[in-house]
């Protein structure tokens, strides 16, 4: 059943085409991060429900894998249309449970639909090979097949769009899926069950579970029937899931934490760099995996960049997501605020100076002032730890090789950004920066057409692009002999 008039605000889980409560009747209360008010309660499911979801997905796989790529594409496009037809309701749900400004929520929902369209098309281009045989009486074929049951575990910062990045390629490839959204933002995840149901996705193909993450995750990782784990979240949890998946040798996709450098050279167009800096730092209140974590600014442009960045940051309106003109909402909870406060405190203690912001915002317990902090050094914690908040540390450098060395001095490798008008330098940056994504004079680059994913401890595998569906396919080599008979 739905509450508060939004048809997508459902307080049940979706297993095998049936809406259910937790066996125990237990629930998890979900709060609005901007106001602290309770939105509602979702099922607190655990191992038993997870095992039923796995059985349902395994049974549904037997027939879903035999549908044609065109049939699957048509269902994904129906889901795409439903998302766009209900974009406002889905965006309002997202802002209510996650806090982001409504314009960002609308964009996220639009992006969700775009991933569905992309993979509807990609699914119809899963080609095999006929390999020239060295033996006259033998033919060599390469086939691609769906891996089977997929388990998807997703984060709270993009509670809508992180799901179709997995559901899209999974269904397009012929896999079935069990989705466990974050307990902080479950409603946008549960909504995918309703969208699937309305689109006519057969029972068991899409299953949505909320509840005790460790026990659900353990059941998914230890099941022989689950053949792939697709995770988006922290590197810490990614490592737990990788370890838990080892015994059954699962395929894994890991979209993990980041520590993005944003390098500005003296020859950069400064206004372009400032626009890119604001977009790359403060989107979703700095709570994105690809948000800039470190600004490295060359000495010749440093003072004017700091001045302009401070001015632009000071002009940002903070408040609840539906308030006119608000460009920054709350952080997800008070623990997130405390973490950001800790990192700012550490930097100031080590000699950094705040030019704007630096503390909690008057809007409420979960709001933090958009902040610029200068004279940053590699010894400060935020040079190695993901801030995940609206704080922009600015470091000064003299030479190009110094910037590259500092930028690469991290265990992470998700996104990096470079602002320069020098062609040779931009190519050296592309090649020398050890990251999965590089923006040259661009601060927001994710798109369904391109492979998104990190290297090092930022992850394994890609989401989007033609690479995105490969992670949901097994490659089979078939040798057909006896042709001389």
Ligand X SMILES: O=C[C@H](O)CS(=O)(=O)O
Ligand Y SMILES: NC(=O)c1ccc[n+]([C@@H]2O[C@H](COP(=O)([O-])OP(=O)(O)OC[C@H]3O[C@@H](n4cnc5c(N)ncnc54)[C@H](O)[C@@H]3O)[C@@H](O)[C@H]2O)c1
Which residues are the active-site residues?
255
- Report the nearest approach of ligand Y to the CB of residue 143 (Å): 30
Q: Which two tokens stand for residue 365?
A: 């317990």
Identify what 446 binds: ligand Y, ligand X, none; CB under 5 to 8 Å per kind: ligand X
Q: Give the nearest distance from C-beta 9 to ligand Y in angstroms.
A: 19
The residue among 212 and 255 lying less far from ligand X, judged by its C-beta, is: 255
Nearer to ligand Y, 339 or 428 (CB): 339
204 contact choice in ligand Y, ligand X, none (CB below 5 to 8 Å, kind-dependent): none
State the nearest-atom distance from the C-beta of 188 to ligand X, in Å. 14
Q: Is 298 helix (H, G, I), strand (E, B) or coil?
A: strand
In angstroms, give the least distance from the CB of 11 to ligand X.
26
Nearer of residues 158 and 187 to ligand X, judged by Cβ: 158
Site for ligand X in 448-467 (CB under 6 A): 452
- Could you tell me which residues are beta bridge partners of residue 179? 152, 208
Stretch that binds ligand X, among 112-120, 244-252, 283-291, 333-341 (CB under 6 A): 283-291
- Map the footprint of ligand X across residues 129-188, applying CB under 6 A: 157-158
Question: Which residues, numbered 288-327, are part of the site for ligand X (CB under 6 A)?
Answer: 288-290
Q: Quote the tokens at residue 48.
A: 């038993």
Instruction: Between 255 and 471, name the residue whose CB sits nearer to ligand Y.
Output: 255
Question: Interface residues with ligand Y (CB under 6 A)?
Answer: 153-158, 180-183, 213-214, 217, 232-234, 237, 240-241, 255-258, 289, 386, 414, 454, 459
As to burial, measured by CB atoms within 10 angstroms (0-12 exposed, 13-18 middle, 19+ buried), residue 365 is middle
Q: SS3 for 444? A: coil
Residue 91 as a binder of ligand X (CB under 6 A): the answer is no
Ranges within 419-448 binding ligand X (CB under 6 A): 446
Tell me which stretch binds ligand X (CB under 6 A): 39-47, 191-199, 268-276, 286-294.
286-294
Rounded least distance, CB 236 to ligand Y, Å: 6
List the structure tokens of 194. Answer: 């309703």
Q: Which C-beta is closer to ligand X: that of 364 or that of 451?
A: 451
Contact call for residue 265 and ligand X (CB under 6 A): no
Nearer to ligand Y, 138 or 236 (CB): 236
Burial of 314-339, coded b for 16+ CB within 10 Å and e otherwise, reads eebebbbbeeeebbbbbbbbeebbeb
| Cβ-contact 35, 322 below 8 angstroms | no
Give the span between the Cα atoms of 66 and 74, in whole angstroms.
15
Q: Smallest gap, in angstroms, from Cβ of residue 107 to ligand X?
A: 9
Partner interacting with residue 300 (select from ligand Y, ligand X, none; CB below 5-8 Å by kind): none
CB of 414 to ligand Y, least distance (A): 6
Least separation in angstroms between residue 392's CB and ligand X is 17
Of 161 and 176, which has the nearer Cβ to ligand X? 161
Nearer to ligand X, 160 or 355 (CB): 160
Does residue 98 touch ligand X according to CB under 6 A? no
326 binds, among ligand Y, ligand X, none (CB under 5 to 8 A by kind): none
* Numbers of helices and strands, H then E, in the chain: 13, 20
| Contact partner, 233, from ligand X, ligand Y, none, Cβ < 5-8 Å per class | ligand Y
The piece of 270-278, 287-295, 298-306, 310-318 that touches ligand X (CB under 6 A) is: 287-295
With CB under 5 to 8 Å by kind, the binding choice for 240 among ligand X, ligand Y, none is ligand Y
What does DSSP say about strands 149-153 and 251-255: parallel, antiparallel, or unpaired?
Answer: unpaired
List all residues 6 or more positions away from 274 whose beta carbon is below 8 Å from its beta carbon.
305, 308, 309, 312
Give the shortest CB-452-to-ligand X separation in angstroms.
Answer: 6
> For residue 12, what are the contacts with CB-CB under 8 A and spacing of at least 6?
1, 19, 20, 21, 42, 43, 190
Q: Which does 100 bind (CB under 5 to 8 A by kind): ligand X, ligand Y, none?
A: none
> From its phi and psi, is residue 329 left (phi > 0), alpha (psi between -120 and 50) or beta?
beta
Q: Does 262 bind ligand X (CB under 6 A)?
A: no
Token pair in block for residue 294: 């470190």
Distance of CA 469 to the CA centre of its chain: 16
Residue 342 has φ and ψ, to the nearest 5°, of -60, -45
How far apart CA 346 and CA 377 sit, in angstroms, is 11
Q: Are strands 437-440 and 13-15 parallel, antiparallel or unpaired?
A: unpaired
Task: Give which of ligand X, ligand Y, none residue 217 binds (C-beta under 5 to 8 Å, depending on kind).
Answer: ligand Y
Instruction: For ligand Y, give the closer residue by CB, 31 or 183.
Output: 183
Distance CA 74, CA 8 (A): 22
In the list ligand Y, ligand X, none, the entry touching 257 (Cβ below 5 to 8 angstroms by class) is ligand Y
Query: Are the C-beta atoms of residues 152 and 163 closer than 8 Å to each other?
Result: yes
DSSP codes of every residue in 103-143? HHHHHHHHHHHHHHHHHHHHGGG---EEEPPSSTT-EEEEE
Asked if 344 and 368 count as a contact pair (C-beta separation under 8 A), the reply is no
Residues in contact with ligand X by CB under 6 A are 157-158, 288-290, 446, 452
């Amino acid at each position: 059943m739905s509450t508060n008039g939004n048809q997508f605000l459902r307080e049940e889980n979706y297993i095998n085409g049936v809406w259910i409560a937790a066996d125990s009747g237990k629930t998890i209360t979900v709060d609005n991060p901007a106001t602290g008010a309770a939105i509602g309660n979702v099922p607190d499911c655990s191992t038993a429900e997870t095992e039923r979801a796995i059985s349902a997905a395994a049974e549904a796989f037997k027939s879903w894998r035999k549908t044609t790529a065109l049939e699957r594409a048509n269902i994904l496009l129906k889901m795409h249309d439903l998302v766009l037809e209900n974009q406002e309701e889905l965006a309002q749900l997202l802002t209510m449970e996650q806090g982001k400004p409504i314009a960002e929520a609308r964009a996220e929902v639009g992006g969700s639909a775009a991933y569905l369209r992309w993979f509807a098309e990609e699914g119809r281009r899963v080609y095999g090979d006929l390999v020239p045989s060295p033996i006259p009486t033998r033919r060599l074929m390469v086939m691609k097949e769906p891996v089977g049951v997929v388990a998807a575990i997703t984060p709270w910062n993009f509670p809508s769009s992180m799901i179709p990045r997995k559901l899209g390629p999974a269904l397009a490839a012929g896999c079935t899926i069990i989705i466990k959204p974050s307990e902080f933002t479950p409603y946008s995840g549960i909504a995918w069950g309703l969208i699937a149901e309305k689109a006519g996705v057969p029972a068991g193909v899409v299953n949505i579970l909320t509840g005790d993450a460790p026990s659900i995750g353990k059941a998914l990782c230890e099941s022989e029937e689950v053949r792939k784990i697709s995770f988006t979240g922290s590197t810490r949890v990614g490592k737990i899931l990788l370890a838990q998946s080892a015994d059954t040798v699962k395929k894994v996709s890991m979209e993990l934490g980041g520590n993005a450098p944003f390098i500005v050279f003296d020859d950069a167009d400064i206004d372009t760099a400032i626009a890119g800096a604001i977009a790359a730092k403060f989107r979703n209140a700095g709570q994105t995996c690809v948000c800039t974590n470190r600004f490295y600014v060359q000495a010749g442009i440093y003072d004017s960049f700091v001045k302009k960045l401070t001015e632009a940051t000071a002009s940002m309106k903070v408040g609840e997501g539906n308030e006119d003109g608000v460009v920054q909402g709350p952080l997800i909870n008070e623990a997130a605020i405390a973490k950001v406060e800790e990192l700012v405190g550490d930097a100031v203690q080590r000699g950094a100076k705040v030019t704007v912001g630096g503390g909690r915002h008057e809007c409420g317990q979960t709001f933090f002032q958009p902040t610029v902090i200068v004279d940053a050094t590699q010894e400060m914690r935020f040079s190695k730890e993901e801030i995940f908040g609206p704080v922009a540390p600015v470091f000064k450098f003299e030479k190009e090789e110094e910037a590259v060395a500092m930028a690469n001095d991290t265990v992470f490798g998700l996104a990096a950004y470079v602002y320069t008008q020098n062609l040779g330098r931009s190519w050296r940056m592309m090649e020398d920066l050890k990251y999965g994504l590089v923006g040259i004079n661009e601060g927001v680059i994710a798109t369904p057409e391109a492979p998104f994913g990190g290297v090092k401890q930022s992850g394994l595998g890609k989401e989007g692009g033609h690479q995105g569906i490969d992670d949901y396919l097994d490659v089979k080599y078939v040798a057909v002999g006896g042709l001389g008979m």
